[in-house]
Amino acid sequence: MCEDIDDCQDEPCVHGACKDTGTHSFECECGAGWTDTICDFDVDECVQQTHQCHKDAVCANTEGSYTCECSTGWEGDGIFTCSDINDCISTPCANGGCKDAGPGHYQCNCDDGWKDTNCDFDINECVAKTHDCSENARCVNTPGSYSCRCLKGWEGDGYDCKDVNDCEPDPCVYGVCSDTGAVSYACECADGWQSDNCDVDIDECIDSVHACDLRATCTNHVGGYNCDCDDEYYGDGSSCYPCHQCEAGFQESSTCDDTDRTCVDVDECTLGTHNCDLNADCKNMDGSFSCMCQEGFFGTGEHCAACTECEEGERTDRECSPTLDRTCKVIVPDGLYTITSEADGSNKCLVFSAEGSNQYPERYDWGNSPDFCGIPKLNGMSGKEALLKNRQAVFRLARLEKDLYTVESDADGKGWKCLRFGMGGKNQYPDRYNWGEGSNMCGYQAQDGASVEESLVADGQAVWKLVSLGEDEGSFMIQSNADHDGWKCMVFGGHGYDTNPRRLDWGNGDEYCGVGHWGGLSLKEALLENKQAVWKLNYVTDAKATYRD
């Protein structure tokens, strides 16, 4: 039985509730702030003007919602209130007094030595020549003021300078000073620095005096440099190595930076990213997965089909596996057979004796050998050849559908005729009969638009059901529904001593010819033990074979 798959089981609605609406169909009820078929499209309340922000606030869209923030110069929750901010509260005037001048405006009164809107731009007295330094001094600008420093070789307070040791104050910014005479000195610079005063950074990257790996980027900084491995390389910069690449079926578990990248297997089965058939099981493997059709199905795993079921009259030739379909084999293939019975305890063949002139079949064995009905071997013929030449014990079985067959005899050598219970199934014994000319389908003619086979089956008089009692026994029930009053078994009654076979049901149920649990046996065991309705079908050769003078 097939059932509708719950289309909501994979939770397709990203931001909403899912409702299964039938085969391959579902509906999503989206949460606030979301829309579209699977609720994965954000509603921009700001653009659509559906927000609740204050008129002096700015709306900013977010995933599934929005935020309100008061405009510059205003404060509040952005929704209900936005009030003018005292712009001086944040002390915007770095070096001066502040006066609020309205929403988003203020005015600064700068201290001496400062200027600009926020009083944060230093007035360089040295450049403006408004300082009082000595002519032998250097003016040094400072935040909000300046200082005077006597020039090299001079000393004093900067306002009054006298010749001094040129290394005092030390002119070497990142180095060691040596006085070399009047207004003369020499600097020995520290690593990473250069120029007369050791105040110029050496760019090791541009000068190519760094020790970075060829697969690293050199970045200069004051007094030194850094080495950083390029993308898809790892290491300390001095030595860099290619990053491991995650193969198909794997994903990154740690990034490639100072150490190499590590990868872990992707479980496609758990994630549902496999392409296995709905009737297949997914098995995860390192870097991949496999699909195997479930019991009752076969195929590649990506595509699975239901296994073939053997119909009546067939047996399993090869069982269905996950990759191969079940194959069925006809239990009784078309061909020429002898039909034997041990109804009275002795094994004998069903024959139309008297060179086929007898109207009804009987049990007989020529008694010359255990094979081929004991027929004598004459004129150098084999037993099979003698049997085929004699014809009386040879029956041609032809399958109509499922386990329904025609059983024909050419015992008199005048052509194949069907074994049937005539008179609409009322005849007590079966005889040989054809409805018309032709050696196939009992000479029956198609009726009312049906095929010949369908018409013959519908008539029922010459249709036989061959019911296997199991491969191991090789035995059959031969049944007829000639009178359309239910399937009855062909038996040799009278404990097997009846001359001709007839249709019989013992009346104890619908199975195994209506036998009972005689002697405490199962129904099948009771039927086999009784023997009167048990037949052996012995294949002789294919249906086209014959043997004549």
Per-residue pLDDT of the chain (549 residues; tens, 9 = 90+): 788 888 898 888 989 899 988 888 889 999 888 988 889 898 888 988 888 898 888 999 998 888 999 888 788 888 889 888 887 888 889 898 898 887 778 899 998 888 888 898 888 889 888 888 988 888 988 888 889 988 876 778 888 888 778 888 889 988 999 988 777 889 998 888 888 888 888 888 998 889 999 999 999 998 889 999 999 999 999 999 999 999 999 999 999 999 999 999 999 999 999 999 999 999 999 999 999 999 999 999 999 999 999 999 999 999 999 999 999 999 999 999 999 999 999 999 999 999 989 999 999 999 998 999 999 988 889 999 999 999 999 999 999 999 999 999 999 999 999 999 999 999 999 999 999 887 789 999 998 899 999 999 999 999 999 999 986 567 999 999 999 999 999 999 999 899 999 999 999 988 999 999 999 999 999 999 999 999 999 999 997 765 544
Place of tokens 């032809």: 398
pLDDT at residue 313, as a whole number: 94
pLDDT of residue 24: 84
pLDDT for the residue numbered 473: 61
| CA distances for 300 relative to 310, 484, 504, angstroms | 22, 47, 50
* CATH for 333-541 (2.80.10.50, 1.20.58.740, 2.60.40.10, 3.40.50.720): 2.80.10.50
Please report the pLDDT score of residue 472 as a whole number. 58
Residue 419 parent element (H or E): strand 417-420
Predicted pLDDT at 155: 79
The answer to whether residues 282 and 291 touch, using CB atoms and an 8 Å cutoff, is: yes
Q: CA 179: distance to chain centroid?
A: 83
Q: Give the β-pairing of 184-189 and 175-181.
A: antiparallel
Instruction: Please say whether the beta carbons of 36 and 16 come within 8 A.
Output: no
In this prediction, residue 416 carries a pLDDT of 94
Q: What residue type is assigned to position 144 of the chain?
A: G
Of 504, 503, 515, 481, the residue nearest 404 (C-alpha): 481
- What's the predicted TM-score (pTM) here? 0.55
In this structure, are residues 287 and 247 in contact, taking their beta carbons and an 8 Å threshold? yes
CA distances from 266 to 11, 232, 270, 532 (A): 20, 21, 9, 67
Of the candidates 331, 387, 391, 339, which has an alpha carbon nearest to the alpha carbon of residue 362? 339
CA distances from 425 to 137, 393, 499 (A): 142, 24, 19
Please, which residues have CB within 8 angstroms of residue 377's CB and are 6 or more apart in sequence? 368, 369, 383, 386
Tokens of 549: 């003078």
pLDDT at 75: 83
- CA nearest neighbour of 547 among 397, 419, 349, 379: 379
Q: Which residue has the tokens 């030739």?
A: 317
Q: What is the pLDDT of residue 471?
A: 60
Rounded to the nearest 5°, which phi and psi values hold at 425?
A: 90, 5
